Structure 1
Amino acid sequence: MKLLMRITDAFFLFLVYHSFLSGQSLGHQVAFHVHNKCPFPIWPATAANTGHPVIADGGFYLPSAETQRVYAPWDWKGRFWARTGCNFTSNRQPACETGDCDGRLACDGLIGTPPVTLVQISVQADQSKPNFYDVSLVDGYNLPISVTTKQTSSKCTIGGCSKDLKKSCPEELRVLNKHGDTVACKSACLAFNLDSFCCSNEYGSPEKCKPSVYSKMFKDACPYYYSYAFDSPAPLVNCASKEYVITFCPSAWGGDHTSI
C-alpha cells in the first residue's frame, strides 16, 4: 500500500511538473477558444511576436462546427489567422490556398502568406489590466472573424462582416485558386505596393495617408476591422479577461470554398 501511495504521489508530482513546464497552469495563462463556424474545415495558425513563445505549435486542423482551446502565457503578443483549402498529403507548394506557411501544418512561428484576415492580440503581464486586440485587413481578407470575451460583452466584441469581400472584391485585388474561384482579396497596399496605399515614407502619417476607394470598400463590408494602417477611429478593443472566443465565419453564410 505504501509503495502504491509513493507511486501515485510520484505520478501526481510528474503531472504537476509537466503541467508547469508545458504552460498548462490556467492561473498563468489566457485561453483562446478557436471556433470554426465555416461550412468547411480550416487550419487556424498562430505566430508570436519576437521574443514570445510559439503557441499551439503554430497551427492545427479544425473541422467545421468544432472548437479547439489554445493557451498563451500572460504577456503574450502575436496573431491568429486561418488557412483555407489545404492539402498536406502531397508535396505541392503552397499546401494551402490562403495563409500558407511554407507548406507546414504546424507553422512553428512562421507568418502566413497574405492576404489573410488577421487577429492581432497583446496580452498584458498584469492580469488586472485589459488586453488589446483587433482584426486587420491591412494585408487583405480571406475569412470573416469575430473576437469576444468568453462572457460576451458588447464593448468587448469585434463583430464579423456584413458582406463577403471575396464576392465583391475588384478583379485587380482577387486571389484565384486553380479552379478560378476567388479565395482571398488583397489590400491595395499588397496589390500595388504604393506608398499612398501602404502609408509609408512620405505618406507615413495619419495626416498624409487617407482612406482609398479600396479601404472604403473593405470598411463598408467589415466595419469593425482595420481597413488600412491609419484607420480612424482605431478599431482596437481592450478588455480584461482570462478567456476569449475567436470565431471564423461568425455569420451564417460562411462563404464559398473549393479544396485544392
Structure 2
Amino acid sequence: MYRIMLAVCALLQVVSAFPPRHIKGIQIKNTGLEGLWIEMTNEDSFALPPGQMASVILEDTWSGKIFARSEDCQYKKCNSPYTVAELNFGGDSKEDKYRVSVANGYNKPIKIQPTGLNSFCKISTCNFKLKENCPKTHQVTSEDNDNIVSCKAIPEVFEKLCPQATELFSCKTSNTYFVAIG
C-alpha cells in the first residue's frame, strides 16, 4: 500500500509540473435551410447540415475567421463574397476580441454570442435579406443566375444594415462562443 501511495504521489508531481492546456470552445450552428460548408482559419473545413451544430475546441490563443458558403462549395471553387465571424482569443490576458465582418461582402447572417457562466458580453451580429437589401449592381448570382448568393461590399449600405459589423467587441468572462450562421 505504501508503494502505491508513493507511485501516485510521484505521478501527481510529474503531472503538476506541466501546466494545464488552456482551451476555448466554439459551437457553430447552421440556423438556415440549406447545408453549409464551414471554413475556419488553420482548421479543417466541414459540412454542416441545416439545424445541426458542431463543437470545436481550440487553444486559448487561437485567432482566426469562420465563414460559410453553400455546401456544394466543398466540391467546386466558390469565389463569391462572404460574411465573416472574426475571433481573437486573448490567452493569458483573458481578453477575447470578436466581431462579425462584412468588409469583403455578405452572404449569410452571422451572430457571435459569448456564452458560459457569468458571461455578460455583447452579441455581435449582422442579419439582413439579400434580395431586398443588396443593390442589383452588387448582387452575385448562382451559376444558373436563379439565386442571389452574396452581395459585394458596400460600406455605406452595410453600415446602415449592420451597424455592429464595424465594431470590435471584447469579453473577459467567456470560455465558449456560440456562432449561428444561416
TM-score class, shorter-chain normalisation, is 0.7 to 0.9
Question: What is the Cα deviation at residue 150 of structure 1?
Answer: 1.7
Match of 2:144 in 1: 179
Give me the whole-angstrom Cα distance separating, in 2, the residues matched to 1:243 and 1:142: 25
Match of 1:38 in 2: 32
Listed as ranges, the matches of 1:16-35 within 5 Å are: 27-35=21-29
Please give the secondary structure, in 1, of the residue aligned with 2:98.
strand
- Calculate the TM-score normalised by the size of structure 1: 0.56
Cα distance change on mapping 1:165 and 1:220 into 2, 3 Å: farther
Q: Does 1:225 align with 2:165?
A: yes
Q: Does 1:170 align with 2:135?
A: yes
Question: What is the Cα deviation at residue 140 of structure 1?
Answer: 0.3
Q: Does 1:83 align with 2:69?
A: yes
Match of 1:237 in 2: 169
| Larger strand share, 1 or 2 | 2
| Residues 76-116 of structure 1, C-alpha deviations (whole Å, 9 max, x = no match) | 11100001151656xxx42xxxxx4xxxxxxxxxxxx4511
- In terms of mean alpha carbon deviation, does 79-88 or 240-249 score higher? 79-88
Cα distance change on mapping 1:44 and 1:85 into 2, 3 Å: closer
Structure 2 residue corresponding to 1:123, chosen from 74, 89, 92: 89
Match of 2:54 in 1: 68
State the AA in 1 paired with 2:67.
W
Match of 2:155 in 1: 215
Give me the whole-angstrom Cα distance separating, in 2, the residues matched to 1:239 and 1:78: 16
State the AA in 2 paired with 1:218.
F
Question: What is the Cα deviation at residue 179 of structure 1?
Answer: 2.5
Give me the whole-angstrom Cα distance separating, in 1, the residues matched to 2:158 and 2:46: 28
Cα distance change on mapping 1:174 and 1:155 into 2, 3 Å: same
Q: What are structure 2's unaligned runs of at least 5 residues? A: 1-19
Cα distance change on mapping 1:115 and 1:40 into 2, 3 Å: same
State the AA in 1 paired with 2:135.
P
Listed as ranges, the matches of 1:69-148 within 5 Å are: 69-86=55-72, 88=74, 93-94=76-77, 100=78, 113-126=79-92, 129-148=94-113
Q: Is the 8 A contact 2:114 2:121 kept in 1?
A: no
Q: Is the 8 A contact 1:33 1:246 kept in 2?
A: yes
- Calculate the TM-score normalised by the size of structure 2: 0.79
Cα distance change on mapping 1:138 and 1:114 into 2, 3 Å: farther
Give me the whole-angstrom Cα distance separating, in 2, the residues matched to 1:87 and 1:79: 17
Question: What is the Cα deviation at residue 129 of structure 1?
Answer: 2.0
Q: What are structure 1's unaligned runs of at least 5 residues? A: 1-25, 48-53, 95-99, 101-112, 188-213, 227-234, 250-260
